[in-house]
Amino acid sequence: MSHHDNIIFQARPGGRLQGRVRVPGDKSISHRAIMLGALAEGTTTVTGFLEGEDSLATLQAFRDMGVDIDGPDAGRVVIHGVGMRGLRAPSAPLDLGNSGTAMRLMCGLLAGQGFDTTLVGDASLSSRPMKRVTDPLAQMGAVIDTTAGGTAPLRITGGKPLHGIDYRLPVASAQIKSCILLAGLYAEGRTCVTEPAPTRDHTERMLAGFGYRVERDGAIVCVEGGGSLRACDIDVPADISSAAFFMVGASIAEGSDITLEHVGINPTRTGIIEILRQMGADIEILDQTEVGGEPVADIRVRSSRLHGIEIPEALVPLAIDEFPVLFVAAACAEGTTVLRGAEELRVKESDRIQVMADGLAALGVDATATPDGMVIRGGRAYAGGRIDSHGDHRIAMAFAIAALRAGGDITIDDCANVNTSFPNFLELAGMAGLAVSQVAS
């Protein structure tokens, strides 16, 4: 599907969410499984792979660099690894579509290769800041050209020897941390990253799963260059960021009782659960187990009366992708919800602070954007209306969920990119009880 189609969602008011739902596989883990599986020695089998446009772009990029990959077939992918030095120069720029994760992580991996590569993306990705990864990589010896504004296309010069660095992250970002650690696999000596606050640790867990030694000491994580990866099998759990839409929906829609199956509950990703619980949500964690080094559980959510809170800043990095739908929860909660310390939201697929504030205001919600967050005075009835999602998949899905409590239809423009992370959103949402459909393209 072209990203230029204006796909429009129409969400009708009311309804409740019920039953058992398994949302698609975790996007962060799907990306990393392809990358590390490609660089491993031996054959890696991935199940539960997210067949969304973002992860498929990563898969295609490694095919373009000579890696033999079978699938995906119903979430099953078989990667025939080429080893740390087995990638080949692609014949054209690698197009990563809308995926900031793919672009930032691959920047680190490709800085250590012996060939030149160019990374490109769609209009949204081409406007997102990349100096946050190219600057530390330059300190390691990499040569990467960006546009004058520090954005893609990124031209990576191969054959440059890298050396380890000690890097203190200026912002809490798993993408920057992962980029530097992946470059560190190719660097001489030791590469260490210090985090200002915990961020998702899928890269570290997966490196260990592939047999690569990762050292962690508090906020510092280190790798030594020159090792190798051994193929392993990966079961990708359901994505908590996709489950978040149903968690909020069930919390705000009276009579809801939904169980989300086999969801990854990595402690660096569970901010959504903690924030909703602080707002009064009824969330139960069931059948907890561990799959491939990642904790997994079923999550049961029943409707409850939510109240506004000051969101603890320590939880912000642990819920950074879930704020669009958390803002919807805040609009339905009694009292005022305040978010601070989330300036990172302004450089996502859209400026998620401004776009959500504008959209909520269009529905009659009292929402005020601040430089690093939002103040939402919730609990009042809000109307239907027309929303511009600015091509941001999480904004589009958040406003579909808002219809559960709206006074009229919510029409959402520019929804094509929902396919980047949640290709069967309309179907699953419909089965669970949300009245949302595609009305035009």
> Which residues are tagged catalytic?
321
Whose structure tokens read 């000051």? 310
387, 411 contact by CB (below 8 A): yes
Q: How far is CA 31 from the centre of its chain?
A: 10
198, 268 contact by CB (below 8 A): yes
29, 421 contact by CB (below 8 A): no
d(CA 429, CA 400): 9
134, 160 contact by CB (below 8 A): no
CA angle, 238 then 308 then 197, to 5°: 55
Q: How far is CA 47 from the centre of its chain?
A: 19
**Neighbouring C-beta atoms of residue 327, cutoff 10 Å:** 28
Q: How many residues does the chain have?
A: 441
d(CA 8, CA 143): 42
d(CA 85, CA 108): 14
Look at residues 298, 288, 233, 291 and name the one whose alpha carbon lies nearest to residue 262. 298
